[in-house]
Amino acid sequence: MNSNRLPYLLILPVTLFLCLFFLYPFFQVAGQAFTNDQGLTLANFERVFSDWKFPISLKNTLLLAAAVVPVQLALALLMATMVNRMKKGRDIVLYIWTIPLGISDLAAGIIWLAIFEQSGFLNSMMHSLGMIDRPTSLLSYKSMGMVFLAIALAEIWRATAIMLVILVAGIGLIPKEYYEAAEVFGASPWKRFTRITLPLLRPSLQTALVLRVILAFEIFAVVAALGGTLFPVLMGETYSYQFDLLDSGSAAAIALVILGISIAFTLVILRALRVPKGAQI
């Protein structure tokens, strides 16, 4: 076999596959969003934007991402540094902390439903502590703050693990000598964290944040399990346009809005955490 052609032969299946199932549907979704029976139009977007649910679901999605992602980042950084200095039991602790990585968003929603539903464990606990006499409905339109909290907790619980894994892998790549040198010069643990770990972790932080932020805009099943229709989010609206209203043009239009937001945030993160050439480990 001609070894000039071999690499192209090897990447051909993936390239074909992604053209067919990634690029092609991407252009199709764009096409669907900008067309209807009469041809090229913005009607789909107009319909979506004038829907009273759109501003709410946009606000909910962004608010959730804004509440969840920073907490996850802080928590993942904390866990990663804790694991890093662990000698005994590192494997078992890491396994436990990465368990949520394998748990689907739907299952995570159901897990937190067990805690927050009316006859759930939170009410039971408050009852046994004598704080309440009768179980109250925690996840209703009367307590939207609680609905938000439940969804945010479920998201933090479920999706911190992916950031943790990326950050632990990243910290593992930082040469130990830097820390030893810093210690010789008397740098406190906090100084070592802010002056060595954080700057050298930038590529991993970049990946972790991009991945996490995009997933945060895709939030769907956790909300469906915990908030139902109480708490509309963009992805849920896409689903209901497609399925309940059978309006795939509008579904495509919202899909493009989600895509647009995701790309915008990806670019911002890549820019903000840019790694100068030559400063890579």
Partner 1 sequence: MSTSLSNTSTVRAGRWVYGASVALLCAWVLVPIYLLLVNTLSSPAAVSGFPKSFVPEFDTASLEFFAGFSGMVSALINSIYVAAITMVLSIVIGAPAGYALSRFDFKGKELFRLLILLTRAFPLPLLALPLTVMFIQVGLDDTIFGLALVHTTLAIPFAVLITFSLFSGIPVELEEASWTLGCTRLTGFRYVVLPLILPGITASAIFAFVISWNEVFAAAVLTIENRTLTAFLLQNLDTSPLHLKFAGGFILVVPALVFIFAVRKYLFAMWGIANR
| Dihedral sign of CA atoms 158, 162, 168, 170 in order | negative
Cβ at position 173, least distance to partner 1 in Å: 6
| Dihedral sign of CA atoms 250, 254, 260, 262 in order | negative
Looking at 70, 104, 141, 245, which residue binds partner 1 (CB under 8 A)? 104
For tokens 């913005």, the residue is: 42
Looking at 67, 115, 149, 174, which residue binds partner 1 (CB under 8 A)? 115
Name the residue nearer to partner 1 (CB basis): 3 or 50.
3
Specify the amino acid at residue 210: V
How far is Cα 144 from Cα 87, in angstroms, rounded to an integer? 44
Number of H helices and E strands in the chain, helices first, is 15, 2
- Contact between 245 and partner 1 per CB under 8 A: no
Q: Which of 202, 217, 147 is nearest to 170 (CA)?
A: 202
Touching partner 1, residues 163-182 (CB under 8 A)? 165-166, 168-170, 172-173
Looking at 197, 221, 237, 240, which residue binds partner 1 (CB under 8 A)? 221
- The string of DSSP codes covering 228-276 is GGGS--HHHHHHHHHHTS--HHHHHHHHHHHHHHHHHHHHHHHHHTPPP
Looking at 38, 40, 102, 177, which residue binds partner 1 (CB under 8 A)? 102
CB atoms within 10 A of CB 32: 19
- Contact between 131 and partner 1 per CB under 8 A: no
Looking at 42, 74, 124, 194, which residue binds partner 1 (CB under 8 A)? 124
Looking at 56, 67, 113, 182, which residue binds partner 1 (CB under 8 A)? 113
- Contact between 149 and partner 1 per CB under 8 A: no
Consecutive H or E run containing 240: helix 234-243
How far is Cα 281 from Cα 271, in angstroms, rounded to an integer? 19
How far is Cα 225 from Cα 182, in angstroms, rounded to an integer? 48
Looking at 144, 242, 247, 273, which residue binds partner 1 (CB under 8 A)? 242
- Contact between 38 and partner 1 per CB under 8 A: no
CB atoms within 10 A of CB 170: 21
- Contact between 233 and partner 1 per CB under 8 A: no
| Choices 19-27, 44-52, 54-62, 64-72; region in contact with partner 1 by CB under 8 A | 19-27
Looking at 60, 61, 197, 207, which residue binds partner 1 (CB under 8 A)? 207
Touching partner 1, residues 249-268 (CB under 8 A)? 251-252, 255, 258-259, 262-263, 266
Name the residue nearer to partner 1 (CB basis): 19 or 181.
19
CB 36 within 8 A of CB 44: yes
Cβ at position 224, least distance to partner 1 in Å: 6
